[in-house]
């Protein structure tokens, strides 16, 4: 049995099994368990309007869900910081369906947002990791995760389980709204199941690659994380992991926004982390990839140091980036689950380079309840 020096590293390696447990709650073979989704039957409003309220990593999962639910289900989705939305007392006359996301189910700002939504008469759905938590009890419908206890303060396996559950929710709503037929839904579930094994096989390679990267980039003052579309959510999450784990400043941006100000920061001590994967079977993904290649080409001419997360064997990205971490091919809406794990590992090893207690970074706390 592998020995792990820190809870964060152990929890990163527990992600495949945590995803399997979460899938088992909602999937039977290549079909959704109908009874598991019965509580969600009345959640979506007639106009297909959804508001997602969350904080921290959970909000980044919400940003990914926005793309999932819009692209795969045709819904209209807004994502709010729970702490900000709860300060706006003006009722929304549209009465969107409200989704709250939390690791513990006890996050105070998000719990307040949930209770405000209920007071306004909106249909509510909570996704959280702890059975019996306040959010799962108080919401009109609930999706429990099965990540298990997460003792390190930086969220890792709870985040990938949130993405897993949100993908399942998108499949359910896609079928329910007829945006997705049964064959497409079954194919999406097969690909999600296959992704778990892919991640498991790649963990040790990612571990070695990111440990080496942390040694090479230990001198960096700031990182700029870049992603397009659904991958912007992962850029934001990667930057948050770097900040809270290692105390190295980082920011996540839409890749196309780099030249609208942040590029002034790019230097030897401000490297870029670019999400440059592609699903070659999806036209929008190829377009995103081609634009990312152009950005990488421009950054190479500028002399920037760039770490790219890219498809295995992608020689175009390798020729343009300073360093590369490879991930196996997957669908556009599943790639984020794989992409985020090397970023978690990179943050972990950067923390070690800076002598940080990665499980208990300063000034931060989280609700940890045994599940």
Gap between the Cα atoms of 358 and 354, Å rounded: 10
- Kindly tell me if the per-residue pLDDT of 371 is higher than 60: no
Superfamily of domain 7-194: Glucose-6-phosphate isomerase like protein; domain 1 (3.40.50.10490)
Residue range 11-22: average pLDDT?
98
Containing 239, the helix (H) or strand (E) segment is helix 231-246
- Kindly tell me if the per-residue pLDDT of 365 is higher than 70: no
73: nearest Cα among 159, 186, 184: 184
Per-residue pLDDT of 307-360, as tens digits, reads 999 999 999 999 999 999 999 999 999 999 999 999 999 999 999 999 998 888
Note the pLDDT of residue 364: 63
pTM of the model: 0.95
Gap between the Cα atoms of 345 and 144, Å rounded: 26
Q: DSSP assignment of 176-222, as one string?
A: HTTSS-HHHHHHHHHHHHHHHHHHHHHHHHHHHHHHHHHHHTTT-SE
Residues of the chain with CATH 3.40.50.10490: 7-194, 202-353
Gap between the Cα atoms of 211 and 205, Å rounded: 10
Per-residue pLDDT of 192-226, as tens digits, reads 999 999 999 999 999 999 999 999 999 999 999 99
Note the pLDDT of residue 269: 86
Note the pLDDT of residue 89: 63
At 366, the pLDDT band (50, 70, 90 cuts) reads: low
CB burial of 37-51 (b: ≥16 within 10 Å; e: otherwise) equals: beebeebbbeebbbb
Per-residue pLDDT of 40-62, as tens digits, reads 999 999 999 999 999 999 999 99
> What is the CATH number assigned to the segment(s) 202-353?
3.40.50.10490
Note the pLDDT of residue 350: 97
DSSP category for residue 145: -
Gap between the Cα atoms of 93 and 321, Å rounded: 48
At 18, the pLDDT band (50, 70, 90 cuts) reads: very high
**Angle between helix 231-246 and helix 56-73 axes, rounded to 10 deg:** 170
Note the pLDDT of residue 94: 77
- Kindly tell me if the per-residue pLDDT of 145 is higher than 70: yes
Percent above pLDDT 70 for the chain: 96
Note the pLDDT of residue 184: 96
Per-residue pLDDT of 117-137, as tens digits, reads 999 899 999 999 999 999 999
Residue range 30-39: average pLDDT?
94
What's the mean per-residue pLDDT of the chain?
93
Note the pLDDT of residue 367: 56
Residue range 301-306: average pLDDT?
93
Residue range 263-276: average pLDDT?
89
Tokens for 316?
């175009």
C-alpha separations of 143 from 20, 44, 77, 82, 113 in Å: 15, 14, 19, 18, 17
Q: CA 36, 33, 66, 47: dihedral to nearest 10 degrees?
A: -80
Note the pLDDT of residue 266: 85
Note the pLDDT of residue 296: 95
| Contact in structure between 126 and 100 (CB atoms under 8 Å) | yes
Note the pLDDT of residue 90: 63
C-alpha separations of 116 from 39, 87, 157 in Å: 20, 10, 29
Tokens for 292?
């990312």
């Amino acid at each position: 049995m592998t020995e792990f020096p820190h809870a964060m590293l152990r929890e990163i390696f527990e992600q495949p099994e945590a995803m399997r447990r979460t899938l088992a709650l909602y999937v039977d073979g290549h079909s959704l368990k109908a009874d598991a989704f019965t509580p969600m039957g009345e959640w979506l409003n007639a106009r297909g309007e959804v508001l997602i309220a969350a904080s921290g990593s959970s909000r980044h999962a919400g940003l990914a869900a926005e793309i999932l639910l819009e692209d795969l289900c045709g819904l209209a989705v807004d994502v709010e910081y729970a702490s900000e939305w709860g300060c706006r007392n003006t009722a929304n006359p549209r009465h969107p369906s409200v989704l709250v996301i939390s690791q513990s189910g006890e996050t105070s700002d998000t719990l307040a947002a949930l209770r405000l939504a209920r007071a306004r008469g909106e249909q509510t759905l909570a996704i959280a990791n702890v059975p019996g938590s306040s959010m799962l009890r108080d919401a009109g419908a609930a999706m429990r995760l099965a990540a298990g206890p997460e003792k390190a303060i930086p969220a890792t396996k709870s985040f990938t389980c949130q993405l897993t559950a949100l993908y399942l929710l998108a499949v359910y709503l896609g079928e329910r709204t007829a945006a997705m037929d049964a064959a497409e839904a079954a194919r999406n579930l097969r690909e999600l199941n296959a992704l778990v094994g892919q991640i498991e096989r790649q963990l040790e390679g990612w571990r070695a690659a990111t440990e080496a990267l942390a040694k090479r980039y230990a001198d960096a003052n700031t990182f700029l994380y870049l992603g397009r579309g659904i991958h912007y959510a992962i850029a934001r999450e990667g930057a948050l992991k770097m900040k809270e784990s290692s105390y190295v400043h980082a920011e996540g941006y839409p890749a196309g926004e780099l030249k609208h100000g942040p590029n002034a920061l790019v230097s030897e001590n401000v490297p870029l982390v670019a999400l440059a994967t592609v699903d070659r079977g999806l036209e929008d993904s190829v377009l995103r990839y081609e634009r990312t290649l152009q950005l990488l080409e421009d950054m190479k001419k500028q002399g920037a140091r760039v770490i790219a997360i890219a498809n295995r064997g992608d020689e175009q990205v390798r020729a343009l980036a300073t360093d590369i971490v490879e991930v196996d091919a997957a669908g556009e809406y599943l790639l984020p689950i794989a992409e985020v794990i090397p970023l978690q590992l990179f943050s972990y090893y950067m923390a070690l380079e800076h002598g940080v207690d990665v499980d208990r970074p300063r000034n931060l706390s989280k609700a940890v309840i045994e599940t």
